[in-house]
Structure 1
Amino acid sequence: MTTPNALFAEVLVLLGGVTVAAPLFKKIGLGTVLGYLAAGVVIGPLLRIITTGEEILSVSELGVVFLLFIIGLELKPSRLWQMRRDIFGLGMAQVVVTGLVLTAAIRVTGLLDWRPAIVAGFGLALSSTAFAMQILESESDVNTRYGQRSFSLLLFQDLAIVPLLALTSFLDGSGEKAANPLWVDILVAVATVGGMVLAGRYLLSRIFNVIARTGAREAMIAAALFLVLGSATLMQAVGLSMAMGAFLAGVMLAESSYRHELEADIEPFRGILLATFFMAVGLSLEIEVLLDKLVVIAIAVPAMMLLKAGVIYGLCRMTGSSHNDAIRIAFLLPQGGEFGFVLFTTAAASGLFSAETASLLIAVVTLSMALTPLGSALSRRMLTKGEKEELEEDFEGAGSDVLMIGFSRFGQIASQMLLAAGRDVTIIDTSADRVRQAERFGFRIYFGDGTRKDVLIAAGIERAKIVAICTHQRDITDRIVDLVQADFPDVRLFVRSYDRIHTIALREKGVEYELRETLESGLLFGARTLEALGTDEATADEIRRDIRRRDEERLAIQAAEGIYAGTDKLHTRPVTPEPLMKPRHGKVAEEAKT
């Protein structure tokens, strides 16, 4: 039994490992997950500082529970319903097909009889929610199409826990003596899920409302922890995963006004416990098993991951994923999962497996987890460059006085002016990378194509007073202008213009305001250059205003008479171009100076 002093020392060592591993591995580009794993291996199997990896793993699994709760908070029930085909279609196909393929592969090797081979095959078919979701979060890919499909697969795997445990009991011969038949266990699980849904819909928000009125901050934190741990424990009691219970609790509170506060309360616990979970996986790695079965493991781990990735890729392509998305999903989910530990341990306890076989399979799962970040990084080399990445179109919370379309350099600067003045701005963009980068800097922008009417409506154009079109391609800008003017004629249009010709064309369309993307920056640059040459600031600004005024006069003339009209309005005095070659004679040089 661990003494209090020893427990304190272990916690101190784990926190030190997190502190060192996270920045070090992030710096060298390998990611924090691999850093936590490496720290666990060093602290446990190599240096033997901590030898209670299994105990720490059982506690640190709460990190996965908190992670799923936070994901649930971001996923409304309506959104979950939209994902039902991926969850029960693609998810079920992945578990069944992958399980059968891996079972057949194990039988071909002759390592196991058909009954333990089925448990091993389906146990290895499950993936690690903790590893996959951490990678998706670190890359800001949770809301991408491939991120959502990956999450659907993981969600069904959690649902598959009950029948897989029942299958294990049936295969080891204890199913006939079980207290309850399978259909009773499934009915209890469904009833529990239904009860949680009803409680979340009619009770949870009211309970948090009562607690919030007391003004006791610590009571809100305690209630949040009680909710997560209570729902997780309830699900575990009926045979489902703890993570599934926490996820459902989060989904039920996704529409609550306390959603953001709950997320802020849980986040610190989630972060440190999830880091500890990854370290505990490293702590639990049995070096002796790896050394004794080195050849078997060296073949089994890559073979299992390649077979699993191949099946996932094929199923994703068959169900509509692009090549790039299918590659990302396949290399994100080829590892074994945390629940494989439970299946293999249960099979060993019932005599279906030998303890040595269970240790071997657990080592395969653990090592496959450790290789997941490297596999995810490797997948980027297999992507097709010409294929455009897309995110899920989720316009939750959209609708402001200003709808900005396009968030490149021009839109970023313009939006800062509006936000600094306290105005709400809804921003949409078609670049997945730009959406992710904006989120990292605290901007909330939506993925969407501004040339589609349904996207504009979803983004709140019917409530917008001004539509600011800040796209940088002229043809895209014109298509959006034509669409808005045709279907939303009462909206005021402020448009980024590509060049002078585009400005004239936009004025002919009747937009309220347009601005060439380089006009003001060019004028300011010229004014500051004059100051550097000795012109005083007031004179330089006066020249800038004069050039702007004359440019506007010329634009008006060009709009009426053609692009080549109005050249006399551009300059305040005639300009003599400097010769391209130096004059040969001094007299000519003097004339050039005058």
Structure 2
Amino acid sequence: MSAPNALFTETILLLGGAVVAAPIFKKLGLGTVLGYLAAGIVIGPVFHGITDGEQILNVAELGVVFLLFIIGLELKPTRLWQMRRDIFGLGTAQVVVTGLALTALAWFSGVLEWRGSIVAGFGLALSSTAFAMQILEDDGDVNTRYGQRSFSVLLFQDLAIVPLLAVVTILDGDKGSGSPLVDFGISVAAIGAMIIMGRYLLTPLFQIIARTGAREAMIAAALFVVMGSASLMQFAGLSMAMGAFLSGVMLAESSYRHELEADIEPFRGVLLAIFFIAVGLSLQLQVLLDNVLFIIIAVPIIMAVKSLIIYVLCRAARSSHNDAVRIAFLLPQGGEFGFVLFTTAAVAGLMPGSTASLLVAIVTLSMALTPLGAALSKRMLTGEEHEELNEDFEGAGADVLMVGFSRFGQIAAQILLAGGRSVTVIDFSADRIRQASSFGFRIYFGDGTRKDVLRSAGIDRAKIVLVCTQKKEITDKVVELVQADYPQTTLFVRSYDRIHSIELRNKGVDYELRETLESGLLFGRRTLEALGVTEIDAYEIGEDIRKRDEARLVLQVSEGLQAGQDLLFSKPIHPEPLIKPKRVPDPFDDDPLVSRSDATADA
């Protein structure tokens, strides 16, 4: 078969494997990552449909590159600076402590001498950015506290590959080429050049292309920027993913950020799927079979040691138990950069080639077990700890500030948006924010009972504050806070029930409404119509009930809950036989509807 035909066939196999495996494993609750891995194992090692898995892996690593670029687009330099403690504090501790622990294990196992043990230990300390971020993305947890802390650790691990490769050169002695100091200087210079180009060249470049209106040129420019920055970092000895991430960060404040993300997303999704399939293709079943006992012992021990250390370090960094468990089970696997480190060490003679292959197999198998570990972690969570997202109020500050995106608030927001009004919505439910984002809504995470959150959300610029929270006690806290610190703000509130409505009126809110009032009136009207009452009569009856309800509320506010009972209907109203109730035309009457029992008919 000719090379072009072989390439065409392999492409069909890869795409077909993704199409079949992903939905099946997603339906089984095992995640798409494990599905892609299984597809790769079936296509490659089992049926030998594709034999050059490593070559495909090299190309598919662009999926990781695009992933880091999109992550960079979501992180402004200011946000990255806020994460510095997790990146350089927790990240450094994780790499150093885990590396030393695994180095000791490798040394005491007797498989490697001390230099090879150092390379193996620190290589296994690295985790897979692609696997961890894909799992976070599938679960919608990228912006959670534990998701951001996990990403910080992964980001430092990507940075750590540079000094680790320098360590290989140092351990290699005179065999290595080049000076570690020179290599470090080149890396720093490359990062500096990337920052300068990102600040002064990238945005003007996209401005020029945007003026032409050539959509395909914009896509080509986006791909050029990602791959060009990745290649520059690779030339400087850094990872391609790091270069793409930096270019994304540089464009995070650009007005073209959302368009770039939309352009890159399809390429990222397909290439990342192929990357996971390629990992499965590269799995050396023969190596696994020849060393099955060693691997069965080594893989769980390595993952357990990494998980335990990560858990302890996260708890020391003041993560909650649940977040520490999630991170520990998300990052116990080996990483893609371990492949590079082990291969380089084998070439340098620090370990036999067979040992490097065994380590690669261990890393690959640990990757395959990660989705199962992430699913297992959910069984180890305790209590009903409230999940929190990182608060980011960029773009907030509309005329209307809505606190709580409940069912009631969602309907009200539709009315406002249809009326051409912008609305800033804050909610304290991570699940609700994830669900809203899947429908294209931008909801800000924040606790509306905190003054600093309301200020960050733009309450100083808001003309009206809508309190649409579901719990009465939370609603009362928000109302009291707004009235105390922002007394001039117009306050519209969704009340829990009739008693709550009375309490809110006593507090002096500008408008309140029970969630069930309008739906109950409409439900009753539709029931009357189904029983044969005309639509007009049903409407008038509904309006009469509405006015009676309002009159009762006015009396109850001033006289107590038992007031206005005479306005309630406790028995059916029976008009005279065969005569429908009619309106009595009395222009001097404030209430145009009289009680049905007083209606008279023209005879």
Query: What corresponds to 2:441 in structure 1?
Result: 443
In the other structure, the counterpart of 2:117 is 117
2: CA distance, partners of 1:221 / 1:437: 29
Report what 1:300 is aligned to: 298
Q: How does 1:156-175 map to 2 (within 5 A)?
A: 156-174=156-174
The reply to whether residue 258 of structure 1 matches residue 266 of structure 2 is no
Superposed, which structure 2 residues align to 1:20-99 within 5 Å? Answer: 20-99=20-99
Bigger shift: residues 190-199 or 284-293: 190-199
- 1:515-565 CA-to-partner distances (Å, cap 9, x unmatched) read 012111112222222223332222222111111101101111111111111
Q: Does 1:471 align with 2:451?
A: no
- In the TM superposition, what is the alpha-carbon distance from 1:575 to its structure 2 partner? 7.8
Name 1:133's counterpart in structure 2.
Answer: 133
Moved more, 427-436 or 284-293: 427-436
Distance 1:420 1:61 in 2: 44
AA in 2 matched with 1:446: Y
Q: Which amino acid is 2:100 matched to?
A: L
- Structure 2 Cα separation of the partners of residues 17 and 124 of structure 1: 29
SS at match of 1:460: coil
Distance 1:490 1:189 in 2: 56
Moved more, 357-366 or 184-193: 184-193
Secondary structure of the corresponding residue to residue 240 of structure 1:
coil
Give the whole-Å Cα distance in 1 for the aligned partners of 2:489 and 2:366.
55
Residues of 1 paired with 2:257 and 2:281: CA distance? 35
Contact 1:64 1:270 in 2 (8 A): yes
| Comparing 362-371 and 430-439, the one that deviates more | 430-439
CA distance, structure 2, for counterparts of residue 352 and residue 95 of structure 1: 21
Q: How many residues align?
A: 574
Q: Is the 8 A contact 1:550 1:571 kept in 2?
A: no
Report deviation, 1:179. Answer: 2.1
- Paired position in structure 2 for 1:585: none
TM-superposed CA distance for 1:174, in Å, is 3.8
Code of the residue aligned with 1:77 in structure 2: it is: P
Aligned amino acid, residue 278 of structure 2? A
Q: Hey, what does 1:269 align to over in structure 2?
A: 267
Alignment correspondent of 2:281: 283
User: Cα distance 1:357–1:481, how it changes in 2: closer, same or farther (>3 A)?
Assistant: same
Q: How many angstroms apart in 1 are the aligned matches of 2:339 and 2:281?
A: 14
C-alpha separation in 2, matches of 1:415 and 1:373:
38
Amino acid at match of 2:353: A
Matching of residue 311 in structure 1 with residue 309 in structure 2: yes
Cα distance, 1:443 vs structure 2: 1.6
Instruction: State, as a whole percentage, how many aligned pairs show the same letter.
Output: 72
Q: 2:525 aligns with which of 524, 527, 533?
A: 527
- Aligned match of 1:587: none
Q: Which residue of 2 aligns with 1:149?
A: 149
CA drift at 1:312: 0.4
Q: What is the CA deviation profile of residues 194-229 of structure 1, one whole-angstrom value per residue up to 9, with x for unaligned ones?
A: 221121112211111111111111111111111000
> Partner residue of 2:382?
384
Report what 1:590 is aligned to: none
Q: Aligned equivalents of 1:214 and 1:536: distance in 2?
A: 61
Aligned to 2:484: 486
Q: What is the match of residue 568 of structure 1?
A: 566
1:573 to partner: Cα distance = 6.8
d(CA) in 1 for partners of 2:209, 2:349:
50
Q: CA deviation at 1:74?
A: 0.7
Q: Could you state the TM-score of these two structures normalised by the residue count of structure 1?
A: 0.94
How many angstroms apart in 2 are the aligned matches of 1:354 and 1:531? 85
Does residue 100 (structure 1) correspond to residue 106 (structure 2)? The answer is: no
What letter is aligned with 1:150?
S
Per-residue deviation, 1:474: 1.3
2:546 is the alignment partner of 1:545? no
Residue 462 of structure 1 aligns to a residue whose secondary structure is coil
Residue type at the aligned position of 1:523: L
Which is worse superposed, 481-490 or 355-364?
A: 481-490
1:208 to 206, 209, 228: 206
**TM superposition score normalised by structure 2:** 0.93
**Pairwise CA distance, 1:114:** 1.4
Q: Which whole-Å CA distance do the structure 1 matches of 2:519 and 2:335 have between them?
A: 54
Counterpart for residue 554 of structure 1: 552
Q: Secondary structure at the match of 1:160?
A: helix
Alignment partner, residue 582 of structure 1:
none
Aligned mates of 1:25, 1:573 — CA distance in 2: 59
The offset of 1:178, in angstroms, is 3.0
SS of 1:336 mapped into structure 2: coil
CA displacement at 1:356 relative to structure 2: 1.0
Distance (whole Å) between structure 1 residues aligned to residue 262 and residue 572 of structure 2: 65
Distance 2:512 2:3 in 1: 72
Tell me the distance in 1 between the aligned counterparts of 2:212 and 2:573.
76
Structure 1: runs of 5+ lacking an equivalent: 577-594
Q: Report if aligned partners of 1:161, 1:239 keep a CA contact under 8 Å in 2.
A: no
Compute the displacement of 1:423 (Å): 2.1
Deviation string for 1:434-492 (max 9, x for gaps)? Answer: 11111122221111000111101111111211111001111111111111112122221
Counterpart-to-counterpart distance in 2, 1:143 and 1:253? 19
**Cα distance in structure 2, aligned partners of 1:438 and 1:173:** 57
Q: 1-side partners of 2:173 and 2:297: how far apart? A: 31
Distance in 1 separating the partners of 2:393 and 2:452? 11
Task: Tell me the equivalent position of 1:352.
Answer: 350
Q: Give the Cα separation in 2 of the matches to 1:341 and 1:108.
A: 22
Q: Distance in 2 between matches of 1:115 and 1:174?
A: 14
What amino acid maps onto 1:252 in structure 2? M
* CA distance in structure 1 between the aligned counterparts of 2:336 and 2:2, rounded to whole angstroms: 24
Q: Which position in structure 1 is the counterpart of 2:585?
A: none
Q: Residue 574 of structure 1: CA displacement? A: 7.6
Residues 487-518 of structure 1 deviation map (CA, whole Å, 9 limit, x = unaligned): 12222111000111111111122111100121
Q: Distance between the aligned counterparts of 1:20 and 1:184, measured in 2?
A: 48
State the shift of 1:184 in Å: 2.4
Query: Which residue of the partner structure matches residue 3 of structure 2?
Result: 3
